[in-house]
A and B are shown apart, each in its own frame.
Chain A
Amino acid sequence: MKQWFCSVPVLALLLWAGPGYGQQANDVYQVLRDGDGAAQFAPVVPGYTLDFPQDHGPHPDFRIEWWYLTANLEGANGQHYGVHFTLFRQALFAQQQGLEHASPWASGQSWMAHAAISQGDKHLYEERFARGGIGQAGVQSQPVFDAWLDDWQWLGDGPSPLPGQLTLSIQGQPLTLQLSSNKPWVLHGEQGFSQKSEQGQASYYYSQPSINIVGQWQPRTGDSVALTGQGWLDREWSSQPLAENQSGWDWFSLQLADGHKLMAFRLRHSDTEQHYYSGSWITPEHKVTPLNSDDIQLTPTGFDVIDTAQGEKRIPTGWQLSLPTLKRQWQIKARSANAWLDTLFPYWEGPVQVFDNKQAVGVGYLEMTGY
């Protein structure tokens, strides 16, 4: 489960207008834990068989959903670039049957998107909101895959997002990426049913961890930069993804030089040191071994103090990740501590390097919330 849930964007506006930003931000998370509210939406149950390309499109009966791309790219200038783009969907209220056709305004869907690029210690990002129904934002898988909000757009060549093209502008600076993959989709957990707590909170979760990317970045000053590299797309939807005592998470997506991929996360519990761990070990052929709390060990090894809109925060930017059952162990280091997004829901998201005994053995992305 990565991410970072979109919460009620309307609430976002409320927060902008209101005092005690930080305090209420906690309430925002409550939406993700709100079991009563979830009742009017479709539940996430095991045994569902994912159906492509259908499932690339939105699932409006579920409360929240996202399309989430991260990428480690190399510029023609030799510099490393990290890119991430997310489109969040949230249903504000369960759609009454038939009403969605009465008026485009009757939709209960709302959209939020983030785009960010980082290079060295530089970090640029932008956040957008839109209401659903009127066409300002949305996702469709037919006739071709299309996900957009205002002029940000991911357009597939066919009903699948891959191959496809992502067109963004971050703070007015255009970024385009051509995305393709020749590997099968990876289903996490039990055939895409990904559990989030012992109490049964769960989501549907699949990924494409092997995306080939070529692109172009046009910074405000200077020449445009050609980019190439590897990307990772996450798709997830749910109606109640968090348990009552889960305060935040640390999520890793790693692409190792030997062709293996690893997804691992822990959901931190506010009342105990026994956190909830989950992940997938993925072979170069995309064979998946699900990992659980016995298989994953995560230890912060280095911290940075970061200035945020809510004051200074101490963020773990160095980690030790062990898979004892697989007898593997890596050191993970953020390329730069400067990857904090002071968006409506502030979080840290940035590119990392993977080391095995001081030797660089891979790249990846790290996301941390709730700090």
Chain B
Amino acid sequence: MRSLLWSWLTLLSHYRRHPSQTLFLLLGLITGVALWSAVHIINAHARASYAEADQLLDAQASHWIQAPNGRVALSDYVALRRAGFRQVYPVLELRLSTLDNQPLTLIATDLMAMSASRTSPTQEQSNSRVDMRAWSQLSQPPYAVWVPASLANSLPLQAGQRLTLRDGRQLPPAVTDSQPRQGQRLFMDIGAAAITLGETHLSYLAVGAIDPAELKRLDQWLNQYAPQLKRRSNQQPLDLTELTASLHIHLNAMSLLAFAVGLFIVFNAVRFALHSRASTLTTLRELGVSARTLTSAIVLEGFTLSLIGTALGLAAGFGLSQLLLPAVAATLQHLYGAVLDQRLLLQPQVLLQAWLLTSVGLLMALVWPLWQRSRQGVLAQRQGVDVLQQEQRSQRRLAISAAVLLAIALLSYPWLNSLAHGFALLAALLFAGAWLLPWLASQCLHWLSQNAKPGLAQWCWAEGQVQLGPLRPALMAMLLALTANFGVDNLVGSFRQALDNWLQQRIAADVYVQSEQLDAHQLSQYAWLLDSHERNGLRLRWQGRPTLIRGLDPSAPDVQQLPMASQSYPQGGAAWPDDGILANEQVQHLAGKQLGDVIYLPLGNGEQQRFTLAGFYYDYGNPYFQFYLPYQRVAQLWPNAQPQGLALWLDEDANMTEVEQALVEAGAQPGDWIDRRAILQLSLRIFDRTFAMTAAINTLTFAVAGIALLAALLAIHQQRLPHYAHWRAMGVSWREWLQLTAVPLALCLMLTWVLSIPLGSALAWLLIHDINVLSFGWTMPLQWQGRPALLLALLCLGVTAIAFAIAALQVRQRLPYALKQLGADE
């Protein structure tokens, strides 16, 4: 025990004497843990939020009462309350967009009515941010809108400012504050919202905790007095968990990648720290410390480091998650309607997991060199081993492992049918690439030195071989970062392109109107109206998922050009097949249905209607199943189907103000319509927001790789300093030194970059063709883009140049001292 303690302390003294090594080791650990834990915290937080989706703001919402047209009359609500249903409270939920087409959601309720349904009347929210003035502001003219701080920042919107909407209406002055579970939504008092936005109806009613007898009475009441209103139980917690599962796996995978990159730094640092202490280790052996005690001391050191790294990493990760949360919250809200709370919690299991993860990573880095040492006698340890030969051996071993990994990946590919398998393949691909890299670089350097003129050039490539060893982990980290960036850039680019093309086809009409009061026939008198398309629809559950049914006019221009993935009937005016139904791709990929399959959909009366799948259309970004049928058929099968909007095709020189005026005359209200350009912009906005998190993690991964490189270079130079001193003594000039060290480095990084292009492309291909289909259920063509590769090359060059410059400066500073030591050292 005593010898363990003193061995451990003796080993640790290294970190005190070499603060920069300590710094990099911890930096690697911290960044890795931080990125991983940030995503993990957000994921856990999101899942916890879904579990709370049986609440609206802070109140229970076990059921919803909805009207098929999405508008509940105020009188029905009041009648319910006066019939004694005090669990019922009114909600107004509106989708708004700003002047520059930023999508926003507004939620409003009557806090007075809701009071009975509040889950936590007195406890919770102990540090209430609510002050009296804010409250009276909410309910008294000129009213107020509560904007969560992160949303206010992104808009940007200052406290007291009024947000102008796309249709020119203005919201009340903003207050930077939020309700519990408000998420990234705006919050207003329902009265204030109804007045400022001219809403005469409620969006839906929420039902708080209710006992079975009351629920039965409620159903009877609705049946008798308001048959158009339907109650359904709040299945959001379940639905959200299922719908968002893929997204969270994606996020997790990315965070693990970031963690892996962080581990490369740690790997490098740990190996280097071990290497620089070789003589200390031998001395301790000579002093009678057993090999086992020494190994224990090193493992203990690993645990100590992982403990410190985890603690600091988690702290950083927690901070980072606060920064990333708004982006993820926005994605979840826009894609799935999931509301994420603003406050984050750190769960103990995250702590434990992070610590285990880093410990395993550290041990992985330590096991091999320790095992090697333990096989050597004490005497042999003093005699320098042939580092170069050893390095070449491990390069070969890595390359062989890479080949095996690739082979396994390729062989298992035909059986790919689960997300986990998909990500395992991705990981295999990435690591195979990383492991192949050192061997490739070595072969390249070898070939160059064989073919170089004897002299400086040859020396240069030989020096490259020497540096390759310590540089190896950094190069691999850089390859991972480059590959991930390039792959995801391609994925996002392809997706954006596909979405754009699809939207251009799909959003073909010039104006879209969503209004209940609109009399569509009144518009037909205008000459500028070329064509129109009215749709109806409803929402139901099929295969346990929320499913949308839409009725459309098969002869409408946009249906004629519906972008189809596959179909069994001729498009373009042909008669709709008898019991045929069109489904979105999601039905094919997520529900596993094929063309010609028979499916059954539930009708309102509880019966099932039989359909044959006649085609699959592209439907990007839709988390739900969706089916298309002719308008009449929907109306006939589901009498409760409601209008789902009207598309208008306008004459080329139609005057928009004239059109808007006509719409108003036909009964629509300002804000009821949106033109094509705005809707396209809105869609792409949502898309961009969705990928904001991806971009952020990728950038951070790159930063981590940069740190790895810097750490490696500093280590190499420190190790090689005596050699450099020798060179200096031999008369090698500073410029020649630069050439000797920079050129092979540049070559290695160029090789890394070159390798990242096929790897990144393969990654993107795998993501698009398999993982995306498995997780979201839609397909798209891969649009290979060269521009990101060039950008990455520049970025890589920049990062390398900076790291090299810092390392070179350090050499310059230390060289004189090294020269003095030259004579003294062994």
A–B in direct contact per CB < 8 Å: yes
CB-CB under 8 A from A128, the residues of chain B are 86, 116
Q: Is the CB of A13 within 8 A of B194?
A: no
B191 neighbours in A (Cβ, 8 Å): 103, 105-107, 131, 133-134
**What sequence of 0s and 1s flags, for each residue 364-382 of chain B, a beta carbon within 8 Å of any chain A beta carbon?**
0000000000000000000
| Alpha-carbon distance between A16 and B84 when the two chains are bound, in angstroms | 23
- Chain A 18-57 near chain B by CB (<8 Å), digits 1 or 0: 1101000001000000000000000000000000000000
Q: Are A150 and B86 in contact (CB under 8 A)?
A: yes
Q: Mark B102-137, 1 if CB is under 8 A from A, else 0.
A: 000000001111011010011001111011100110
Q: Which residues of B contact A193 (CB under 8 A)?
A: none
Say yes or no: A10 contacts B136, CB within 8 Å. yes
Q: Does A129 contact B (CB under 8 A)?
A: yes
Question: Is B112 in contact with A10, judged by CB distance below 8 angstroms?
Answer: yes
- Name the CB-closest residue of A to B127: A19
Smallest CB separation, A131 vs chain B (Å) = 5
Q: Is the pair A92, B128 in contact by a Cβ cutoff of 8 Å?
A: no
Query: Which residues does chain A contribute within 8 Å of B192, judged by CB atoms?
Result: 105
Does B84 lie within 8 Å of A134, measured CB to CB?
no
Q: Which residue of B lies closest to A133 (CB)?
A: B191
Q: Smallest CB-CB separation from A112: which chain B residue?
A: B112
Bound: A106/B136 CA distance, A:
14
Q: Please determine whether A13 and B111 come into contact, CB atoms closer than 8 angstroms.
A: yes
B170 at the interface (CB under 8 A from A): no
Bound-state Cα–Cα, A110 to B130, Å:
20
Partner of A151, one of B82, B110, B118, B136: B82
Q: How far is the CB of A55 from chain B (nearest CB, A)?
A: 25
Question: Interface range on chain B: under 10, 10 to 19, 20 to 34, or 35 or more?
Answer: 35 or more
Q: Closest Cβ of chain B: how far from A148's Cβ, in Å?
A: 7
**A9 to chain B: which residues have CB within 8 Å?**
112
The reply to whether B84 and A130 contact each other, CB–CB distance below 8 Å, is: no
Q: A93-B140, A130-B113, A131-B110 are in contact. Are A14 and B132 (CB under 8 A)?
A: yes
Q: Which of A13, A21, A128, A134 has the most chain B CB atoms inside 10 A of its CB? A: A134
| B141 at the A interface (CB under 8 A) | yes
The answer to whether B86 touches A11 (Cβ under 8 A) is: no
Nearest Cβ on chain B to A266's Cβ, whole angstroms: 30
A136 touches B194 (CB 8 A): no
CB pair A17 B140 closer than 8 Å: no
A12:B115 contact, CB within 8 angstroms: yes
Least Cβ distance of B811 to chain A in Å?
60
CB distance from A172 to the nearest CB of B (A): 9
> Does B113 contact A136, Cβ atoms closer than 8 Å?
yes
A165 CB to nearest chain B CB (Å)? 15
Chain A 87-102 per-residue mask, 1 if CB under 8 angstroms from chain B, else 0: 0000011001000001
Whether, in the assembled complex, A8 has its beta carbon less than 8 Å from a beta carbon of chain B, the answer is yes
Chain B residues lying within 8 Å of A12, measured Cβ to Cβ, are 115
| In the assembled complex, A58 has its CB within 8 A of some CB on chain B | no
B195 at the binding interface (Cβ < 8 Å):
yes
Asked whether A17 lies within 8 Å of B125 as measured between CB atoms, the reply is: yes
Which of A13, A27, A96 has a CB less than 8 Å from the CB of B115?
Answer: A13
Say whether A135 faces chain B, with CB atoms less than 8 Å apart.
yes
Out of A8, A16, A130, which one reaches B136, CB within 8 Å? A8
Judge whether B622 is part of the interface by a CB distance below 8 angstroms: no
Residue of A nearest to B121 (CB): A16
Contacts of A136 in B (CB 8 A): 78, 81-82, 113
> By the criterion of a CB under 8 Å from any partner CB, how many residues of chain A are at the interface?
36
A120 CB within 8 Å of chain B:
no
Q: In the complex, what residue of chain B is closest to A130 when comparing beta carbons?
A: B112
Q: Are B112 and A14 in touch, CB under 8 angstroms?
A: no
Tell me, yes or no, whether B83 is within 8 Å of chain A by CB. Answer: yes
- The complex places the Cα of A169 from the Cα of B84 at a distance, in Å, of 9
Closest CB in chain B relative to A96 CB, distance in Å: 8
Pairwise interchain contact B139-A19, C-beta atoms closer than 8 A: no
A10 touches B130 (CB 8 A): no
| A13 adjacent to B112 (CB under 8 Å) | yes
Given contacts A108-B140, A150-B84, A169-B84, contact A10 B78 (CB under 8 A): no
Decide if B122 touches A21 in the complex (CB within 8 Å): yes
Residue numbers in A under 8 Å from B111 (CB-CB): 10, 13
Docked complex Cα distance between A105 and B78 (Å): 13
Whether, in the assembled complex, A104 has its beta carbon less than 8 Å from a beta carbon of chain B, the answer is yes
> Contact: B128 with A19, CB < 8 Å?
yes
Of B81, B126, B136, which is within 8 A of A150 by CB?
A: B81
B445 within 8 A of A: no
User: Is the Cβ of A129 less than 8 Å from the Cβ of B112?
Assistant: yes
**Contact partners of B529 in chain A: CB under 8 A:** none
Residues of A within 8 A of B135 (CB): 10-11, 13-14
With both chains docked as a complex, state the minimum distance between the C-beta of A231 and any C-beta of chain B, in angstroms: 24
CB of A16 within 8 A of CB of B78, answer no
Docked CA distance A160–B131 (Å): 41
In the bound complex, residues from chain A placing their C-beta under 8 Å from that of B131 are 14
Q: A14-B132, A17-B128 are in contact. Are A110 and B112 (CB under 8 A)?
A: yes
User: Are A148 and B112 within 8 A (Cβ)?
Assistant: no
Given contacts A105-B194, A134-B78, contact A92 B112 (CB under 8 A): no
Q: How far is the CA of A14 from the CA of B113 in the complex (A)?
A: 14
Contact yes or no, A151 B83, CB < 8 A: yes
Interface members, chain B 524-566 (any A CB < 8 Å): none
Chain B 179-205, CB within 8 Å of chain A: the 1/0 string? 000000000001110110000100000
User: In the complex, which residues of chain B have a beta carbon less than 8 angstroms from the beta carbon of A150?
Assistant: 81-82, 84, 86
Interface residues of B in 574-626 (CB under 8 A from A): none
Contact B74–A16 (Cβ < 8 Å): no
Find A104's partner among B74, B118, B121, B139 (CB 8 Å cutoff). B74
Q: Point out the residues of chain B lying under 8 angstroms from A104, CB to CB.
A: 74
Query: What residues of A have a CB within 8 angstroms of the CB of B128 in the complex?
Result: 14, 17-19
- A129 to B, closest residue via Cβ: B112
Which residues from chain A contact B517 at a C-beta distance below 8 Å?
none
Known: A135-B78, A148-B82. A19 touches B126 (CB 8 A): yes
Query: B813 interface residue, CB < 8 Å from A?
Result: no
Distance of A148 Cα from B82 Cα, bound (Å): 8
A135 near B75 with CB under 8 A, answer yes
B83 touches A14 (CB 8 A): no
Question: Is A131 touching B83 in the complex (CB atoms < 8 A)?
Answer: no
Distance of A6 from chain B, by nearest CB (Å): 12
Would you give the 0/1 interface string for B59-83, flagging 1 where the beta carbon is closer than 8 Å to chain A? 0000000000000001101100111
A24 → B minimal CB distance (Å) = 8
In whole angstroms, what is the CA distance A11 to B133 when docked? Answer: 10
Which residue on chain B has the smallest CB distance to residue A20? B128
**What's the least CB distance linking B368 to chain A, in Å?**
57
CB distance from A208 to the nearest CB of B (A): 26
Chain B proximity of A142: nearest CB distance (Å): 19
A residues 157-175 touching B (CB-CB < 8 Å): 169
* Complex partner residue of B130 from A18, A27, A92, CB under 8 angstroms: A18
In-complex Cβ contact of B118 among A10, A16, A108, A134 (8 A): A16
Residue of A nearest to B116 (CB): A128
Q: Which residue of A lies closest to B122 (CB)?
A: A16
Residue on B with the closest CB to A107?
A: B191
Complex Cα–Cα for A110 and B139 (A): 11
Complex formed: what's the CA distance from A108 to B140 in Å? 8
> How far, in angstroms, from A26 to B350 measured CA to CA in the complex?
45
B190: which of A105, A106, A107 is its contact (CB, 8 Å)? A105
Measured in the bound complex, the distance between the Cα atoms of B198 and A105 in whole Å is: 10
* Residues of A close to B200: CB separation below 8 A: 103
Smallest CB-CB separation from B198: which chain A residue?
A103
Q: Name the CB-closest residue of B to A169.
A: B84
Q: List 19 interface pairs A-B (beta carbons < 8 Å), by A numbering.
A: A11-B136, A13-B111, A14-B131, A14-B135, A16-B118, A16-B122, A17-B128, A18-B130, A19-B127, A93-B140, A103-B191, A105-B190, A129-B115, A131-B112, A131-B113, A133-B191, A134-B74, A134-B78, A151-B81
The 5 lowest CB-CB distance pairs between A and B, nearest first, are A105-B191, A151-B84, A18-B128, A135-B78, A129-B112
Q: A103-B200, A136-B113 are in contact. List 10 more A-B contacts (CB 8 A).
A: A9-B112, A11-B132, A14-B132, A16-B121, A92-B136, A106-B191, A133-B191, A135-B78, A151-B82, A169-B84
- Which residues of A are interface residues toward B (Cβ below 8 A)? 8-14, 16-19, 21, 27, 92-93, 96, 102-108, 110, 128-131, 133-136, 148, 150-151, 169
